[in-house]
Amino acid sequence: MNIAAALLVVDAQYGFMPGGGLAVADGDSIVPVINQMAPLFANVVLTQDWHPANHVSFAANHPGRQPFETIALPYGEQVLWPTHCVQGTRDAALHDDLRVPQAQLIIRKGFHSEVDSYSAFVEADRKTSTGLAAYLHARGITSLYLCGLATDYCVSWSAQDARAAGFEAIVIEDACRAIDMNGSLEKAWASLAAAGVGRIHSSQLA
Ligand code: VGL
Ligand code: ZN
């Protein structure tokens, strides 16, 4: 893999694995795939969904509301999620079997109680930067390979924002799994294609 490329491992946390707060079907099956391809990358960045317990995206913080309903917030429509990835809990920890010792940065996101952040680059208010674009630009990185959870939320938003920030972006599809709610996965792939995001299988990496 060329030295101007980085692997972005999105939210490979217990909260999105079977048994987690916001379990993604088969989510843990991405871990061996990531472990196999990670040695190809000199540059690896991880993200970690990292919510305070009073986070606005949790249905439990909206009396009378149920997970997977949507509400209107000042920045737009917000899906209400089951409580997941609360700061400092096991649910928020990266999977123990993940082997990416060379990872150089962990971007935590979703820590502002009133704003969600699917994207590793820009929070859901579409204004607040996480600093990731500036970091990657400063490191001379021009291409971003994305994997992790969930394809249709955090991976998709991160890949589209990578393009908007001027990076080449490629989603490694067998190293991702989706929530796939109300057609969200099909919609995500269409948005990704429209944004010029590539889509490959891990076996195509060399
Ligand atoms: C995610 C919903 C809420 C994700 C995070 O990692 O895709 N989805 N928080
Ligand atoms: Zn979250």
Tell me how far CA of residue 50 lies from CA of 57, 183, 196, in angstroms.
Answer: 12, 26, 29
Question: Has residue 41 got a pLDDT over 90?
Answer: yes
Q: What pLDDT score does 141 carry?
A: 98
> Domain 5-52+88-205 belongs to what topology?
Rossmann fold (3.40.50)
What one-letter code names the amino acid at 191? Answer: S
**187 part of the active site:** no
Question: Has residue 1 got a pLDDT over 90?
Answer: no
> Which pTM value belongs to this model?
0.97
User: Is the beta carbon of 154 within 6 A of some atom in ligand 1?
Assistant: yes
Question: Has residue 206 got a pLDDT over 90?
Answer: no
Question: Dihedral (C-alpha) 117, 85, 25, 196: value to the nearest 10 degrees?
Answer: 20
Report the alpha-carbon distance of residue 188 to residue 186 in Å, rounded: 5
**96 part of the active site:** no
In the block, tokens 């439990």 appear at: 60
Choosing from 49, 91, 109, 116, the catalytic residue is 109
Tens digits of residue pLDDT in 68-118? 999 999 999 999 999 999 999 999 999 999 999 999 999 999 999 999 999
Domain parsing of the chain, residue ranges: 5-52+88-205
Question: Has residue 16 got a pLDDT over 90?
Answer: yes
